Structure 1
Amino acid sequence: MKGAGTVDYELVPPDGGWGWIIVLAAAIGNMTGQSHVSTFSLLFGDKLLSLGLNTTSAAVILNSMMAVMEFSGLGSGLFAPSAFLAVKTYFLKARGRAVGISTAGINLGQMAMPHLVRLLLENYGFSGAMLVLGGVAMHLPAGSLLFHPLEWHAERRPVASELKPLKGEPGGATSGAAADVESAKVQRPWRDTSVASLAASELGDMSTAMSVDLSKRLPPTSKEHSSLVQHKPQPVWRRVITFMDLDLLRNWVFPNMMFGTGCMFTVAVNFSLLMPMYLQRRLHLSLSDTALCLTMMAAGDVVARLTVPSITDCLKVSARLSFFVAAVLCGITCSVIATSSSMVALCVWNALSGVSRGIGFANINLCVAEVCQEHKLPAAVGFNMVSCGILLFTVGPAIGYVRDETGDYPLCIHLLTLLLLVAMAFWLVEGIVQWCRRKR
């Protein structure tokens, strides 16, 4: 029970200030820890050929690495969701722009990484290049040291109900029912709160994370104001659902969202694997020309992440709509690249493909946030990462097998485009259904 003179406070994100340092830290971590994915084929291509491994083996290696990262958060996999949650917590109005800038670090690294890998391979060989890149990746822990708890920089504002007396109450005293509600919120045992909800509470959302269904409690008496009413024991399966926030999967909108974002992630990873092979083995481009194409894609990506979120924030465009347009454009540009051969066309279409990929990646976690409650966001992000891992384990090796059996790189890229367009077709159907329901 609260004391007579205590006042409840709520944490208000600074929407700037140290939040921009958080954005810088996330950008540094993303730049040094995740930019190596697009150079996998460039770095390991000759090594895999010397070992006698084919495209299927390369696809299994890359997709297994990415899937394990999505499943368990080892290394950069642990950093990515933490960085998103940290940036999201520090911003309200400028959230889209902040997330876009923080993820733009990936593209700054991807712009420089192909040329760095080329220079390292030419001067130090495979082993020396790997040692230098390992040192570059060690900058990620330095960036994470800048992550501060929100409580250190947030503004503390008294809760409105603590400042203004209720109408009809002399002296500003709150009614007994209001006091009971506050007492129930404060005294709720943590065993009724899921791990994901507790994680959300650490990000400044304690009141939401510890909200309680008062319909399941008996009203406390005046003599036993602080006593708790015992709940009827729940079945084991119900406690597992509550503990892991599995109720997120009940609404078909959330699994549909996971499938769409997972397909986008899977297509981007496997396209990054296939494109350098297509350029070098099918079009017979040099290592420097291949690096230039990768740089153009990264440049388009970073331009999109730095500019598009500000535009969508001003126009109040939802993250899912932005992602939908970006995913369709990404699929089309990938297929166009697979049918191009001139250097100018390859550079232009790779830049456009980078723009679409940047818009999509900047909105993946924001799409998750739009379809779930705030206190369930950590669990929702985790589910989304698991779905990405499942798709990586299944789609990646299958695409590699098709390439080895047919020897056709464009066919594999077109299959990736088809997968992405099918996922967006499900999103379109969902949008039509939701629109019809609102019209009713």
Structure 2
Amino acid sequence: MINPKARRSRAMGSLKYDPRFGLDSHHSWMVAGFCSWFLFMGCIAQRVFGVVYVGILEEFGVTRQEASWPMNIIDLLASLSNPVFGYLCSRYSCRAVLLWCGLAGPLGVILCYFAPNVIFIAVFYGMLNGISISGTLTAITVVLAQHFEKRRATAYSVVFTVSAFNTFLFPPLVELLLSTYGLYGTFLVLGAICLHTFPPGIAITSPEWMKPSLNGKKQKAADAGNKCLPPEETELVAQRIEDHEENATCVKSRQTLNLDPSKEASVVLTASNEEKCRAPSQATDRDNLRNFVTVRFWVDSLSFSVMYLALSLFLTLAVDMAKDKGVSTMDAVFIFHAFSAGDVIFRGVSGVLLDSKFLSSDGVMLLGFILQGVGIEILAFTASFPLLIVGSLVFGCGNGLRMPIAGVVLIGDFGLKALPIVFGGFALVCGLNVWTRAPLIGYFRDQRGTYDGVLHVLGVCSFACVAVWAVRICLKRWRTTRLPATSAK
């Protein structure tokens, strides 16, 4: 007789590969569409801060270092709270995380209507939006990884590409709101727009086979067996556990069930792994700690940290930098359009390059940093509006190539099951650069009178990452060519 747990496991296994509701199915793409909608609305406050930054300077008459703190706090909180949201997504649900984050961010913008000073804006605009963006990115990264397998890179590209259109639409709108209603009225309207995260948040959910089963103890035992294996073998062994669960007693007595040798071997393999992992929580802790001390974790984290640092400073300083070079505020807003054009196009290109195997994720990272470094140096060395547009376009292309693939890179290095926790630590490291932003702006712009020094620092960091990823690609190729030779011996 087949027990209920085994019956449910088989049902979930068949649903997982159903063309309508399984992996890479029509339902998966519907979820990706709602993720795009949520991310599009949820990141508006961050994307338009370059325009709000100029409004803060004019309204309060503060230094540029002080005016940049709301954006710095957004990125700081977005990073510090990522480990918490990684746990919450695992413990509760991604939908619950998204709904709460969809409320927190807009509320922070609306409360700035009552702001008497920049500190108030830094606390509410910065803190609540930082927490909101953190939970949003973590939950959406996990949900997409759960719904897609073969088309995972394409799904990430589509979601992040669609969400990037907010940089096309909203900076000019916020500039219009500032000139019409002032800074305080802009906060009210902008907060109301951001509240449109709720409809997609209700529709986003994890697939059925990723939800906890009714029999918690048996599920934990199965998970413990899986965690002893490398990430790429986890799903295979999990499927074997499900196939043989109703015949579990065959490990103790071969005579009880007449299994063929291959099936018996797979059951014994599963049983031996379960014996080695009697303490699931301890094994999980050790695995997570092991991931955080690997070289590949720090290469991934520090590389994306440089990318996010460049993006954050560009979004904050682009309009004011263009004004320093003689461009009017109305024209400076179109620098965001040039950036967004490259960003949007190459977010789509990124997924196609990966899924078609034309480039590896390492190759995409290398090309992205080359474009980022070139674009930033163009911005630093030019004062003409057309070349500022070109530099922003090139920088946007580099950003678009890498932005959708953080999850792909982490899954390739650490596996899908480790993603929620690893992504939290990854984002925490990425956010450490927040402490350098305000001092950089204060030193180069407030004291030396130009943003060019900030851009040169970013350019040097970008080309350093080019060297790191070139070395990583060469090492992987060397190991690949060395393995066949070793096997032949």
TM-score range, shorter chain: 0.7 to 0.9
Q: Is the alpha carbon distance of 1:267 and 1:82 closer, same or farther for their aligned partners in structure 2, counting shifts above 3 Å?
A: same
Q: For residues 17-62 of structure 1, what are the alpha-carbon distances to aligned partners after superposition, in whole Å with 9 as ceiling and x for unaligned? A: 1112111111111111113323213113232354342232233331
Which of 55, 58, 61 is the equivalent residue of 2:64? 55
Whole-angstrom CA distance in 2 between matches of 1:193 and 1:57: 52
Residue deviations 1:60-79 (CA, integer Å, cap 9, x gap): 33122111012215212211
1:96 to 2:153 alignment: yes
Q: Helix, strand or coil: the match of 1:145?
A: helix
Q: Which runs of 5+ in 2 are unaligned?
A: 83-130, 212-216, 243-249, 255-267, 483-489
List per-residue Cα deviations over 1:324-378 (Å, max 9, x = no partner): 2112211210110222222222223322221211111122222112211221111
Change (3 A) 1:425 1:2: farther
Match of 1:328 in 2: 370
Match of 2:198 among 120, 135, 141: 141
Say yes or no: does 1:207 pair with 2:238.
Answer: yes
Aligned mates of 1:136, 1:152 — CA distance in 2: 35
* Alignment partner of 1:275 is 2:318: yes
Equivalent in 405, 410, 418 of residue 460 of structure 2: 418
| Residues 240-296 of structure 1: per-residue CA shift (max 9 Å, x gap) | 97178111023211211111111111111112222221101x113222101111112
**Distance in 1 between the 2:363 and 2:298 partners?**
17
Does structure 1 retain, via aligned residues, the 8 Å contact 2:56–2:67? no
Partner of 2:297: 254
Corresponding residue number in structure 2 for 1:433: 475
Give 3-state SS (helix, strand or coil) of 2:44's partner: coil
Deviations 1:184-212 (A, max 9, x none): x9475489599x99xx9xxx99938x99x
Q: Kindly indicate whether the alpha-carbon contact (under 8 Å) linking 1:333 and 1:352 is maintained by their aligned counterparts in 2.
A: yes
Q: Is the 8 A contact 1:305 1:362 kept in 2?
A: yes
User: What is the alpha-carbon distance in structure 1 between the residues aligned to residue 468 and residue 67 of structure 2?
Assistant: 30
TM-score by length of 2: 0.71
Instruction: Report matched runs for 1:248-397 at 5 Å.
Output: 248-280=291-323, 282-392=324-434, 394-397=435-438
Q: Give 3-state SS (helix, strand or coil) of 1:148's partner.
A: coil
Instruction: Give unpaired runs (5+ residues) of structure 1.
Output: 155-184, 212-218
SS, match of residue 338 in structure 1: helix
Larger proportion of helix: 2
Aligned counterpart for 2:163 among listed residues 106, 112, 120: 106
How many Å separate the matches in 1 of 2:282 and 2:449? 51
Amino acid at match of 1:121: L
Distance in 1 of aligned mates of 2:65 and 2:283:
38
Cα separation, partners in 2 of 1:188 and 1:133, compared to 1, 3 Å = closer
State the TM-score, normalizing by the size of structure 1. Answer: 0.78
Q: Which amino acid aligns with 1:291?
A: V
Partner-residue secondary structure (3-state), 1:374 = coil
Query: Does structure 2 conserve the Cα–Cα contact (< 8 Å) formed by 1:35 and 1:107?
Result: no
Structure-2 separation of matches of 1:286 and 1:4 = 69
Contact 2:152/2:408 (8 A) holds in 1: no
| Distance in structure 1 (CA, Å) of the matches to 2:319 and 2:465 | 25
Change in Cα spacing, 1:391 to 1:205, as seen in structure 2 (3 Å) is farther
The answer to whether residue 48 in structure 2 is matched with residue 66 in structure 1 is no
Report SS of the residue matched to 1:341. coil
Query: Mean alpha-carbon deviation: is it higher for 293-302 or for 423-432?
Result: 423-432
Aligned to 1:119: 176
Task: Assess, with a 3 A threshold, how the Cα gap between structure 1 residues 277 and 351 changes in structure 2: closer, same or farther.
Answer: same
Structure 2 vs 1, CA of residues 253 and 191 (structure 1 numbering), >3 Å: closer, same or farther? closer
Q: Is the 8 A contact 2:222 2:238 kept in 1?
A: no
Structure with greater contact order relative to length (CA < 8 Å, sep ≥ 6): 1
CA spacing shift, 1:206–1:269, aligned 2, 3 Å: farther
- Distance of aligned partners of 1:4 and 1:267 in 2 relative to their CA distance in 1, 3 Å threshold: closer
Q: Does residue 37 of the first structure (1) align with residue 94 of the second (2)?
A: no
1:242 aligned onto 2:285: yes
Distance (Å, rounded) in 2 between the aligned partners of 1:286 and 1:144: 38
- Report the equivalent of 1:401: 442
What is the one-letter code of the residue matched to 1:30?
Answer: L
Structure 2 distance, partners of 1:188, 1:47, is 52
Contact 1:271 1:413 in 2 (8 A): no
Cα root mean square deviation, aligned = 3.7
* 1:415 Cα offset (Å): 0.5
Shift of residue 91 of structure 1? 1.9
Q: How far apart are the structure 2 equivalents of 1:192 and 1:152?
A: 17
2:65–2:442 Cα contact (<8 Å) kept: yes
Contact 1:39 1:113 (8 Å CA) reproduced = yes
Aligned residue pair count: 391
Query: Given the superposition, is the C-alpha separation of residues 27 and 232 from structure 1 closer, same or farther in structure 2, using an over 3 Å criterion?
Result: closer
Report sequence identity in percent: 18
Change (3 A) 1:307 1:316: closer
How far apart, in 2, do the equivalents of 1:229 and 1:378 lie? 26
Q: Residues 315 and 149 (structure 1 numbering): CA distance in 2 closer, same or farther, change over 3 Å?
A: closer
Partner of 2:208: 151
1:26 aligned to 2:24?
no
* C-alpha spacing 1:374/1:329, structure 2 compared with 1 (3 Å): same
Partner Cα separation in structure 1 for residue 152 and residue 399 of structure 2 = 19
Cα distance change, pair 193–386 in 1 and its aligned pair in 2 (3 A): farther
In structure 2, relative to structure 1, the CA distance for the partners of 1:243 and 1:230 (3 Å cut) is closer
Q: How does 1:7-18 map to 2 (within 5 A)?
A: 7=7, 8-9=9-10, 10=13, 11-12=16-17, 13-18=22-27
Find the residue that maps to 2:428 and give its secondary structure.
Answer: helix
Aligned to 2:55: 46
Give, in whole Å, the separation in 1 of the partners of 2:62 and 2:413. 42
